[in-house]
């Protein structure tokens, strides 16, 4: 989950809400660059790349001080990654390829994940053969997922720079670096412009918990369920 400290308490954005925001961004990608017949699968992978983490079911939600665990504090969990890959494979090997690349990106420097990632790379060869694609094509599609993921995280964490200072979103397809600048309240400009329309709206949901510490994960989940849901809207444009 994404956890932001605010004057009102912990603002919590679930991993799945963040993933949905990433998919909203991806859905507006330039029509001519939508990876042909794999487009719906690519969009699905973007939407579901964090679906294995469910704050209303998991128990690893609190740190040693009883506060909610921000996504940056999470570690490699083989059982989570295995389940994520298995969920992807129930849909398609293309989705599994993109999810595999994401696991490698997130956990590639973690020694604990080395054997798991080694196994993923072996499986990738079979999935690539199944789809009749190249590793380069997978890489290009994953760069789109990574870009949309990074943009969603910037928005959800509220770390877009003030006073119209540019911040890099990520490297996207074609190794193009995309930048973002805030031009007003919840108004974001992206350069260079990679989307179909000149502007579009996106949104995500959050819940704020006034309590700063919790005794158990069950206690935290109960308060998260009962917290008021707030919808945040943003306009992304080229001008």
What pTM was estimated for this model as a whole? 0.94
DSSP string, 48-102: HTTTT--TTT-S--B-TTSPBPPGGG----HHHHHHHHHHHHTT-HHHHHHHHHH
Q: Specify whether the backbone of 132 is left (phi greater than 0), alpha (psi in -120 to 50) or beta.
A: left
| Confidence (pLDDT) at 50 | 85
Q: What's the pLDDT at 75?
A: 83
pLDDT at 52: 81
**Which 3 state secondary structure label does DSSP give 190?**
strand
Say how far apart CA 181 and CA 149 lie, in whole Å: 17
pLDDT in tens, the chain (239 residues): 999 999 999 999 999 999 999 999 999 999 888 788 899 999 999 999 988 877 778 788 899 999 999 988 888 999 999 999 999 999 999 999 999 999 999 999 999 999 999 999 999 999 999 999 999 999 999 999 999 999 999 999 999 887 788 999 999 999 999 999 999 999 999 999 999 999 999 999 999 999 999 999 999 999 999 999 999 999 999 97
**170: number of Cβ within 10 Å:** 19
Q: Starting at the edge strand that comes first in sequence, how are the strands of the sheet with 176-184 ordered?
A: 2-6, 9-13, 199-209, 229-237, 187-191, 176-184, 167-172
Name which of 112, 46, 41, 42 is nearest 77 in CA terms. Answer: 112
Q: CB burial class (10 A; 0-12, 13-18, 19+) of residue 168?
A: exposed
Amino acid 188: pLDDT: 97
Distance CA 142, CA 149 (A): 10
69 to 61, 62, 72, 120, 161: CA distances (angstroms): 5, 5, 8, 27, 24
Distances in whole angstroms, Cα of residue 59 to Cα of each of 54, 171, 207, 218, 236: 9, 34, 18, 8, 35
Q: Report yes or no: 210 and 176 within 8 Å, Cβ to Cβ.
A: no
């Amino acid at each position: 989950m994404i956890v932001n400290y605010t004057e009102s308490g912990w603002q919590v954005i679930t991993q799945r809400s963040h993933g949905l925001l990433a998919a909203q961004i991806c859905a507006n990608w330039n029509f001519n660059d939508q990876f042909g017949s794999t487009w719906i699968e690519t969009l699905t992978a973007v939407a579901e790349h964090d679906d294995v983490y469910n704050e209303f079911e998991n128990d690893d939600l609190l740190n040693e001080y009883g506060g909610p665990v921000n996504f940056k504090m999470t570690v490699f969990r083989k059982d989570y990654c295995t389940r994520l890959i298995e969920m992807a494979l129930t849909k398609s090997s293309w989705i599994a390829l993109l999810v595999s690349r994401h696991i490698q990106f997130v956990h590639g420097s973690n020694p604990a994940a080395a054997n798991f990632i080694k196994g993923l790379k072996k499986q990738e060869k079979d999935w690539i053969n199944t789809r009749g694609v190249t590793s380069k094509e997978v890489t290009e599609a994953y760069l789109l997922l990574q870009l949309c993921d990074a943009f969603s995280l910037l928005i959800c964490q509220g770390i877009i720079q003030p006073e119209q200072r540019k911040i890099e979103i990520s490297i996207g397809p074609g190794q193009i670096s995309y930048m973002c600048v805030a031009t007003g309240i919840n108004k974001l400009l992206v350069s260079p412009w990679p989307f179909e329309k000149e502007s579009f709206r996106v949104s995500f949901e959050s819940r704020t918990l006034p309590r700063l510490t919790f005794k158990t994960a069950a206690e935290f989940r109960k308060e998260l369920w009962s917290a008021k849901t707030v919808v945040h809207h943003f306009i992304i444009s080229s001008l």
